[in-house]
Amino acid sequence: MSRPTLYLAVSLDVEEEGLFGGQYARRGYSTSNTASLGRLDPLCERGVRPTLFCAHSVLADAPSCHVLAGLRDRYGAEIGAHLHHWNTPPLTLDGPGADAALADNASSVPAAAVPEALMAAKLESLMAAGRDFQSAPLTSFRMGRWDMHRNLWPLLAQAGIKVDASVRPLHCGATPKAGPDHFDAPCNPYWIAVEKKRIFEVPLSVTPLVQSLPRLVGRVAPGLRSGFKNWGALSLLPVYHPLWAMQAVTRLFVARGGRVLSLTWHSSEMMPGGAPHLPDASAVDKLMQKILVWTDWLSSRWDVRSLTMDQLRETLGPQAPDSTELLRPTRNAECGDWAYTPQEAP
């Protein structure tokens, strides 16, 4: 008897250190954590094909680029773009003097507070750094802090992005500056129509503890949506959940129709001391061992195909639904920030 096929999308946000201390460095940061990406070798040797979403800070650093090229050339890792708008140049549109006047660190960096023209310039700078490294355009993208708002979709389309992985279902900011509204996003990949282009979305794997609860909250107590991620759902985030919880969310997700498992973590979480919750080599070793055990467990139960983000687009794109189809059952065709509807075009 054949086993069901699951698709595995493993991704890392490859970026500067220091993001877990409540400060966001505009300058003076370090990217030495990329030297620890060699810890991916055992996963890649098992057939995992990661997508490495790289910030401008990494793509502008020669030693980091050497590490990235090795993973790409040895294992077929995909190099994607990761926008850290707080330090991707230009910092302002008012010239070097205005840039220099900004403090070295910021304590809050909501994407909703960045003017669209400045965000477009930052994205152009990021994509240029990617082209310089890859000698070809980067086509997969993740927004920093998952802070993907509806008005940013046209900027991605104009930049040539074909795949996005910025949507976290069942997550919703209390206000736009607190975060985007992805609460009603689908759990499986889908297409987003943006003007005359399409972007293939690969959401993070998130599932509610009780299947009917999100709909009930949305209908009866919408004010609870912003906190739902903390008490009503589990995400496939290996840094924050023990092995048994990762297995539990996987079982629930698949039982409810999920077919693409998307899990992610950060490059600095592979460097001992690179994040407060992983203070030493022992803690990092335990994290990587947990991920290895989970992938082995997964392969023992399902037929697993590990693909990069762009490979998922090529493989699943022809059968994936369009977001306009998925919007019809939702209340008043409201989609939050997880899709883009033509009538909202500026």
Could you give the 3-state DSSP secondary structure of residue 17?
Answer: coil
Do 15 and 37 contact (CB within 8 A), yes or no?
no
Query: Residue type at 100?
Result: A
On the question of pLDDT at 312 being above 60, the answer is yes
For residue 344, what pLDDT is reported? Answer: 44
197-201 and 190-194 beta bridge pairing: antiparallel
At residue 257, φ and ψ (nearest 5 deg) are 100, 0
Tens-digit pLDDT profile for residues 263-305: 999 999 999 999 999 999 999 999 999 999 999 999 999 999 9
Please report which confidence band the pLDDT of residue 44 belongs to, taking 50, 70 and 90 as the band edges.
very high
Helix H or strand E encompassing 52: strand 51-54
Over residues 301-319, mean pLDDT: 98
Which CATH number applies to 5-344: 3.20.20.370, 1.10.3720.10, 3.30.70.270, 3.30.559.10? 3.20.20.370
Helices (H), 221-322: 228-231, 243-255, 281-301, 309-316
Other CB atoms within 10 A of residue 108 CB: 11
For residue 334, what pLDDT is reported? Answer: 60
For residue 346, what pLDDT is reported? Answer: 40
Residue 323 and residue 302: Cα distance in Å, rounded?
Answer: 28
**Global model pTM greater than 0.85:** yes
Domain ranges in the chain are 5-344
Closest to 180 (Cα-Cα) out of 164, 196, 195:
164
Residue 143 and residue 117: Cα distance in Å, rounded?
Answer: 16
On the question of pLDDT at 12 being above 80, the answer is yes
On the question of pLDDT at 177 being above 80, the answer is yes
Q: Which two tokens stand for residue 251?
A: 């079982």
